[in-house]
Each structure stands twice: as structure tokens, then as C-alpha cells.
Amino acid sequence: MLFAACVKKTENKDKETSAVVHSNKTSHSGLYIYEQNEDTVMLKLTVNESNANGELLYALKEKDRNSGTLTGEIKNDILLADYTFRSEGVFSERQVAFKLTYTTATEGYGEVRETNGKMKFKDPGNLTYDTGVTLKKK
């Protein structure tokens, strides 16, 4: 009877460990897309631990199309990255933020300022995500 109790505890502990390992292996890497009313936003993201890089495209109706690369870091499911892009033949750089879940990436907005020719969030910890465009993971 004592042996059976020990085996049962080990099985439960293995199940808990397995669930934790599975959770840690889930990644934010992938392709996220928003398509609505002739607007397209596409984020192709590769994540290695907390480092992220990828490609970002904005093709919004009646606005200049821009596309480029991003490099950043993910902390607490928030991607904060520098986005280097080309729009109308001109290269620019600005900071972008996305709140990530396992199935979505929602763009964050906040006050920005120019620093050394780059637009950066004044307070990255105080961004809002409730009015941002939500991209769905494919």
C-alpha cells in the first residue's frame, strides 16, 4: 500500500512537470495578420528566448505602404522593438509595441518623441493596447 501511494505521487508530479515544460515551449514565433476593409498589417516574428526579430508590413487604404524589419525584446508578453522601414523610397526607424498572446498580436499606442532621428515611446511601460489593431496568428 505504501508503494502504491509513492507511485501515485510520482505520476502526479510527472504530469505537473510535463504541463510546465509544454507551456514553456509555446512560442510567439509565427505569422500574424490583420486584413479588413482593404487594410493589411502583417507581422512575421521569430523569437529566441526573449529576443525577437522579424518583418512588419503596413498596407493601409489611402496611406503610404511601409515595410521593413524589426528587432526587439519580449518581456511579460509585450514585444518592444525597433522597426526600420521603407516608405515612399525613404528609410525611417520607429519603435513599435505589440501585446502577444498565443493567438494574437495587438499593437500598442502611446506618446512618442524623437530621439536621434528615431521615433520612440516616451513611456513604454504606459502604452495602451485596447484601441490597437489586433493581428491573428496563422
CA dihedral sign of residues 75, 55, 99, 123? positive
Q: Where are the alpha helices (DSSP H) in the chain?
A: 2-25
Q: How confident is the model at residue 132 (pLDDT cuts 50, 70, 90)?
A: confident
Name residue 74's amino acid: I
- Give the integer Cα–Cα distance in Å for 114 and 129: 21
Q: 72-109: per-residue pLDDT in tens?
A: 999 999 999 999 999 888 899 999 999 999 999 999 99
Paired with 127 in beta bridges are none
Three cell numbers written together for 51: 529576443
Q: Closest Cα partner for 74 from 94, 50, 95, 56?
A: 50
